[in-house]
Amino acid sequence: MKPEINSLGLIPAKDDEAPAPEFHLAPRQQDKLLALPAAPGATVPRLTAWEQLRVLRTRIVEAARDRDLRRILVTSSVVGEGKTLLAANLALSLSQLEDKRVLLVDADLRRPSLHHVFGRTVELGLGDLLAGGPRWSQAVIPLHPRLDFLPCRPAAEQSVELLNRRRMKDLMEEAAAAYDLVVVDSAPLSPIADTQVLVRLVDAALLVVRSGVAPYPLARQSAALLEPKLLGVVLNGVERVTRRDYAYGYYAPHFQEEAGR
Amino acid sequence: MNAIRHRPPSGLADYRDIVRRRWPWVVLPALLIAGGGIMAIRHLPKLYQSETMILVEAQKVPTSFVQSTVNENTDELLQEISEEILSRTHLLAIIHKYGLYPKLNGVLTERQLAARMRQDITVKNITDPTDPSQAHNGGAFQIAYQGTTPRQAQEVTQDLAGLFITENLAVRQQQAQGTVQFINSELQRAKRRLQRESAQQEALEKQYMGALPEQEASNLQQLGSEQTALEAAEQQAARDQQQKTYLQSLLAALQNAPALATAAPTSPLDAQLQADKVKLAMDEQVDTPANPDVQRLKREIGALSKALAADPAPKTAPGPAGMSEQQIRGELATLDQDARWQQRQQRRISANIAQLRARVAMAPAVQERLAAVQRNYKIATDNYESLLKKRDAAQMAAAMEAQADGEEFRVVDPPSLPQRPDKPAVAKLSLLAVVFGLLVGVGLGLAREYADPVVRNERDVEYYLGTTVLAQVPLVLAAPERRRQLHRQMLVGALALALVAGAAMVAYLHGATWLARMGW
Ligand SMILES: Nc1ncnc2c1ncn2[C@@H]1O[C@H](COP(=O)(O)OP(=O)(O)OP(=O)(O)O)[C@@H](O)[C@H]1O
Ligand SMILES: [Mg+2]
């Protein structure tokens, strides 16, 4: 199927994986969809990113097997750590499993940006639903057969107050009922209280920590805030992947080299 | 929340990561400092050192004949001569002669200029007793000068050596002359003291004249003879008294029986003769026969005797003793006269004896005082004489130095013509610059690392957050981003290069002057 990937010794596609969905995006946006198989001649980081997203997917699926774990919050300590990118790709990766229907929610009411990843414009978003708009299914955009997307527009009202509404809780419960997995993108934990509200509404949380960006006092604080629901940390933007815990019988390819052009 | 400590690097991977991250912080300052430093060092003014060895030759006249009065310690001598030679006047003369330190000439004062030159001169005592060529001499020393060209260094060293040689002679002559002058002035003082002591002795001798120790014997002798004389006088007085008593009884008898009272001299001549005889007898007891009085009396007696013999006729009838009353009276008068004289004589002798006794008694005390004065006088004399000897020796030594026969400096190794610069020690200083640059770089890198409290890798997550890492997503850059990154890196490199080049340029243009001003 993807000989250049196999030749690098990366994980072969699993049996239960559906064929990769087609997204008609501009090349720059396509570059962000790391969960999709890499184009021929992709760089080593791109290949590693794809592989690491699979590792993450596996771990989440394994965790979800032991307990009821449907709603997953993706957050970070400060802005720009890659929450949005990771949420999108995690959702994409999960939705590639045959038996999973996935909903991707943009809950960053202040700076919603998930729709940019998929090149969408938003007419109706989460903010509108919370403010007392139509039923939430009307706002959902199907991205492909097993992946729906609930986008967001910058909210006019106080975002904390919106998220605190009963309607948000209901919405999350309905989504958990309707989908196998709900991935929620959020605002950073550090300067605002929005995400602390969201934590109460989800089953688990992933803390995105961007290498060289996240100040450790804040990252530590964030981990403490998320504590009982914290599934683990996703280190983003690393220069090299350290292979300690998850050696899959192969060694990391060297990063600095290009995989060929 | 209490502050979390930075995770200390553990294991090679951490160090490698730090190096990967911070190498520009290390390399750029290191490059800048080392590069700039090396540039500056290479363009430091080159200094060439010329050296000459000078032997201190022993004096030509054996020391058993003439002992030099000049300092014999090579170190002290060198010190003294160096002070003279490294004086401002001498150095400025050389500076002007060769146009040394042209860049500093207007900038520094003459004093500073001379001080600057002094830094380039070394005078080193290299006396080595084990060196056979120095064995019989007073040691050796080395003069060195650092100049900007080999020839200049050689010429200046040559001049300095010449100065040392002439100055040595001058200093030696001066010292020898100074010694002579000093001894002369000491001699003057000793002479004055001698005069003082001798005057004192004379005064003392004058004061105790007669009581001086060497006069004691004669004093004693005189005392003895005076005592005999006194005894004789006393005996004579006793005899006279007897005679007087006898004559008085005679006179009394004559008055009672006037016939008997013709004991008076028969004639005036006879009376005269008798009186003279008595007188002579008395005189002879006191005075020597050579006494003119005695002589005169003897002559008188002789004449009277002759006259009497010629005219014995006029004979009056003699008294009972053959003497007339008149004669007896005359005799008594003479006896009285004699007794008075005798008394005077006795008083004189007694006074003499008293004086002599006093002198003899005084003698030990006088001797003591005199001995003290004489001792001082002796000391003064000895001192004076020894100084006289010393002055002769000093004058001889001065004469030797004046003829330049004393210890002399001789150039053994003429000033060398240096082949390669002695300063700057390019290799050593360059290494220093590199090491210093690296240290600064490492310091900056570490500072940068610790000033950046961020999470970087899996270990950091575990250390700071105590959580496991589920996955690590690498930085995936799109082609244009990669290009931008490449451009950025190239820009940084170019900037660094420009910086190094600029620093090198500045160092090249100004480093030398700056360093020179700083006193290099
Ligand atoms: N692993 C990665 N490789 C390359 N680029 C990345 C990576 N992760 C994030 N980015 C880029 O970093 C920028 C910020 O990412 P993203 O918007 O996902 O962060 P965020 O946490 O959602 O930010 P915000 O707090 O503003 O919502 C985006 O341009 C994204 O493409
Ligand atoms: Mg975002």
pLDDT at A18: 63
Task: Give B 20-59 residues with CB within 8 A of chain A.
Answer: 20
Contact B72, B172 (CB under 8 A): no
Residues with C-beta atoms within 5 A of ion ligand 2: A 83-84, 113
Q: What is the pLDDT of residues A138-182, one digit of tens each?
A: 889 998 889 999 999 887 778 888 888 888 999 999 999 999 999
Q: What is the pLDDT of residues B157-195, one digit of tens each?
A: 999 998 888 888 888 888 888 888 999 999 999 999 989
Q: What is the pLDDT of residues B304-314, one digit of tens each?
A: 777 777 665 54
Question: What is the whole-number distance in angstroms between the Cα of residue A232 and the centre of ligand 1?
Answer: 19
The answer to whether the CB of A154 is under 6 A from ligand 1 is no
Q: Which two tokens stand for residue B365?
A: 């005390």
Q: Tokens 């004949």 — which residue?
A: B65
pLDDT at B208: 84
Q: Measured between CB atoms, does B222 come within 8 Å of chain A?
A: no
Contact B120, B146 (CB under 8 A): yes
The answer to whether the CB of A21 is under 6 A from ligand 1 is no
In single-letter form, the type of residue at position B52 comes to T
Q: Which ligand is nearest to the CA of A88?
A: 1
Q: Name, of A153-162, B251-260, B390-399, the range with top average pLDDT.
A: B390-399
Q: A146-160, A230-244, B95-109, B501-515: which has the minimum mean pLDDT?
A: B501-515
> Testing the interface with A: which of B472, B484, B489 to mutate, by most A Cβ within 10 A?
B472
Q: Look up residue B56 and give its DSSP letter.
A: E
Three-state secondary-structure class, residue B64: coil
Q: Is B471's CB within 8 Å of A220's CB?
A: no
Q: Measured between CB atoms, does B474 come within 8 Å of chain A?
A: yes
Q: For residue B17, what is the enclosing H or E element?
A: helix B12-42
E strands of B128-271, at which residues? Answer: 140-147
By C-alpha distance, which of B386, B275, B366, B263 is closest to B317? B263
The answer to whether the CB of B478 is under 6 A from ligand 1 is no
Question: What is the whole-number distance in angstroms between the Cα of residue A150 and the centre of ligand 2?
Answer: 14
What number is the average pLDDT over the span B277-294?
71
How far does the CA of residue B34 sit from the closest CA of chain A (Å)? 30
Q: Which two tokens stand for residue A207?
A: 């803390």
DSSP labels, B128-154:
-TT-GGGTTSS-EEEEEEEESSHHHHH
How far does the CA of residue A60 sit from the closest CA of chain B (Å)? 9
Query: Domain residue spans in chain A?
Result: 7-259
Q: How many CB atoms lie within 10 A of CB B174?
A: 13
Whether A256 shows a pLDDT value over 70: the answer reads no
Q: Measured between CB atoms, does B467 come within 8 Å of chain A?
A: yes
Task: Write the CB contacts of B153 (distance below 8 Å, at least 6 apart in sequence).
Answer: B47, B48, B49, B50, B145, B146, B147, B415, B418
Closest ligand 1 atom, residue A49 Cα:
1
Which of the four pLDDT bands, split at 50, 70 and 90, describes residue A253?
A: very low
B382 phi and psi, to 5 degrees? -60, -45
Q: Which ligand is nearest to the CA of A210?
A: 1
pLDDT at B366: 87
What number is the average pLDDT over the span B405-412?
78
DSSP labels, B315-333:
-PPP-TTS--HHHHHHHHH
End-to-end Cα spacing for chain B: 55
Q: Which two tokens stand for residue B197?
A: 């002591």
Closest ligand 1 atom, residue A32 Cα:
31
Query: Which member of A34, A207, A240 has the closest CB to residue B476?
Result: A34
Q: How many CB atoms lie within 10 A of CB A115?
A: 19
CA A113, CA A126: separation in Å to the nearest integer? 12
Query: Which member of A213, A221, A234 has the closest CB to residue B473?
Result: A234
CA B372, CA A143: separation in Å to the nearest integer? 141
Closest ligand 1 atom, residue A80 Cα:
23
Query: Which member of A217, A220, A255 has the closest CB to residue B474?
Result: A255
Which of the four pLDDT bands, split at 50, 70 and 90, describes residue B500?
A: confident
Q: Which two tokens stand for residue A252?
A: 């990391």
pLDDT at A250: 37
- Looking only at the bridges linking them, the beta strands covering A230-238 and A204-210 are parallel
Alpha helices per DSSP H over B43-133:
74-85, 88-98, 110-120
Query: Which member of B473, B474, B477 has the closest CB to residue A86?
Result: B473
Question: What is the whole-number distance in angstroms between the Cα of residue B64 and the centre of ligand 2?
Answer: 109
Question: What is the whole-number distance in angstroms between the Cα of residue B72 and the centre of ligand 2?
Answer: 95
Q: Which ligand is nearest to the CA of A76?
A: 1
Query: Which member of B20, B453, B472 has the closest CB to residue A235?
Result: B472
Q: What is the pLDDT of residues B46-82, one digit of tens each?
A: 888 999 998 887 777 777 777 777 766 777 878 888 8
CA B266, CA B314: separation in Å to the nearest integer? 7
pLDDT at A104: 96
Q: Is B476's CB within 8 Å of A207's CB?
A: no
> ipTM score of the complex?
0.86
Which of the four pLDDT bands, split at 50, 70 and 90, describes residue B415?
A: confident
Which of the four pLDDT bands, split at 50, 70 and 90, describes residue A12?
A: very low
In single-letter form, the type of residue at position B224 comes to G
Round the average pLDDT of chain B to a whole number and report it.
83
pLDDT at A7: 38
Which of the four pLDDT bands, split at 50, 70 and 90, describes residue A20?
A: low
- Considering the domain A7-259 in this protein, what is its CATH number? 3.40.50.300
Residue A90, CA atoms < 13 Å, CB-side half-sphere: 36
Q: Which ligand is nearest to the CA of A117?
A: 1
Whether A55 shows a pLDDT value over 80: the answer reads yes
Of residues A191 and A216, the one with the higher pLDDT is A216
B451 to chain A: nearest residue by CA? A215
CA dihedral A60, B14, B11, B30 (to 10 degrees): 170
pLDDT at A232: 94
Of residues B17 and A175, the one with the higher pLDDT is A175
Q: Is B473's CB within 8 Å of A235's CB?
A: yes
Alpha helices per DSSP H over B257-291:
268-286
